Amino acid sequence: MKRVVVTGLGAITPVGNTVNEFWENIVAGNSGVAAITKFDSSKFKTNFAAEVKNFDAEAYIDKKEIKKYDLFTQYAIASSDQAIKDSGLNFEEMSEAERYEVGVIWGSGNGGIGTFEQQLKDFHLGDGTPRFSPYFIPKMILDIAAGVISIRNKLHGPNYATVSACASSNTAIINAFDTIRLGKATVMVAGGSEAAITPSAVGGFNAAQALSKRNDDPTGASRPFDVSRDGFVIGEGGAALILEELEHALKRGAHIYAEMVGGGMAADAYHLTGTPPDGLGASLGISKALADAGISADQIDYINAHATSTGLGDIGELNGIKKIFKDIPVAISATKSMTGHLLGGAGAIESVISILSVKHDIIPGTINTETLDPEIPQGLNIILGKSIQQPVHYVLNNTFGFGGHTATSIFKKYTS
């Protein structure tokens, strides 16, 4: 099969609206969590989130066009534009036949939930006469981000959306990886975005007892693995990767960040929203990813854990890791402690972190965690506090979603 490399990155996140700003804040251990500004949350159980700050849609989209796109699509456009520019690819100079070989796969768990919510609100506040925007449906549907990216760049290759809750964007990246190595495309734009800091999403997750209610300490609320964790912090944003067939990248002299070498997907088949305490889904996804990459567990240097800061979720994942890695002291950290949980966009921004970890030989730390839960299996090398500098040849990125979805990707330092 063909080798696949990463040649471009883009990111719009709660801790930075460029890849460099994002990475600098992750390495520094800065939190992107603060009081919710997108709506009045005073009557909600949770009053904080990890919002994107100072996002300027007009830097990427014509002012007249913005109204056509839900915020999740705006994040998709911005991050994919960044990644395409970073890759050095110029689609305008490509022939139509060449653009037949370039595709887009984009993940989101909720799509245009903000648009859906606002349109129904406007309808119910009216006299009952249907007055819906002609943009309502195309703004709301989850596949539209992938479609818009392809339309803007005239890309005719495989084009679709992946929906596997909080595993959505990692699933998109794995599918794009498979598409290239099977020879069905030369270049793929892959990633995910989410814009679900809305009353219905916050209220729904509150009702499910999933969100932290640490309103007196928002920046310290996302505390994976900590004995006092009380739920995740909802976040928003998006990230994009340019995945490229190696020979195509070398021929044009592209800068290569890393090589993608494996992906594993599974289901824990356990519960609507919960994960099994024994970590079955996690261990299955990890073992499949390792087998796909053709490597053993002792070759992994760093695991970017899904670790949302929920009670059962964190323990289940670590039990799954322990089942595969046993006494191997692989470094583990939870960057959601800084970014919050981007739901369907989580796998994409954490892939960017994983790739940059390989490139710079830096393992980000886990902030806020003070006292490890005694239920955590012994012998795990969880990196707390500051980032550490050490060689990173292989990194593994875990994501899990409501419904039991598991997606695990593996990146390695590129060598010819």
DSSP structure string for 90-137: -GGGS-HHHHTTEEEEEE-SSSSHHHHHHHHHHHHTTTS-----TTHH
Query: Which residues lie below 8 Å from residue 337, measured CB to CB, with a gap of 6+?
Result: 31, 222, 223, 224, 307, 309, 366, 367, 368, 369
CB burial of residue 126 (10 Å; 0-12, 13-18, 19+): exposed
Q: What is the CA radius of gyration of the chain?
A: 20
First to last CA, the chain: 16
Farthest CA pair distance, the chain: 66
Let me know if 218 is a catalytic residue. no
Can you list the alpha helix ranges (DSSP code H) found in 255-397? 280-293, 311-325, 336-339, 346-360
Which has the closest alpha carbon to 19: 265, 354, 336? 354
Query: Which residues lie below 8 Å from residue 123, measured CB to CB, with a gap of 6+?
Result: 130, 131, 132
The secondary structure of residue 246, as a DSSP letter, is H
Active-site residue, selected from the candidate residues 5, 61, 140, 166: 166
Q: Take residue 32 and report the two structure tokens written for it.
A: 């992107």
Contact assessment for residue 214 and residue 130, using Cβ atoms and an 8 Å cutoff: no
Distance CA 313, CA 336 (A): 13
SS3 call for 139: helix
Residues annotated as catalytic are: 166
